[in-house]
Amino acid sequence: METDLAEFEIKSSGDRLFMHVLYGLHTLAWFSGGVFAVIALIANYLRRADETDALYIDHHNYMIRTFWWTLLWLVLLSPLWLLLFLPGAIAYGIVWLWYLYRCIKGWMRFNNQRPS
């Protein structure tokens, strides 16, 4: 049985660059008050819908999950700000570090063409 090579879409350097930009936006999101993350999230959803490459789909899903889990933790931990400044700041700092870790880990794995 022959494989139809026309079925496989070859990724261009522009496709890879776009993914790097998305990871960059997610990574720098904290410095924009989350605006960069929302922009990247929208782009993740739009690009994932038309994506056929499993590696790219996996990384879109990874960035989307990272965003939503971070938002969930920020909402759940927000009452700590009512107690005093310090517990809220510590909790948000931990979430920020986790988010940064996820972004850098995913970005490095994508750069090495490995699934998230």
pTM (predicted TM-score): 0.88
User: Would residue 114 be called left, alpha or beta, if left means φ above 0 and alpha means ψ between -120 and 50 degrees?
Assistant: beta
pLDDT in tens, the chain (116 residues): 454 434 556 788 899 999 999 999 999 998 999 999 999 999 999 999 999 999 999 999 999 999 999 999 999 999 998 888 899 999 999 999 999 999 999 999 999 999 99
Domain boundaries, the chain: 13-111
The answer to whether the CB of 112 falls within 8 A of the CB of 16 is: no
In the structure encoding, which two tokens stand for residue 39, read together? 């922009």
Burial of 71 (0-12, 13-18, 19+ CB in 10 A): middle
Q: What is the chain's percent helix, strand, coil content, to nearest 5?
A: 80, 0, 20
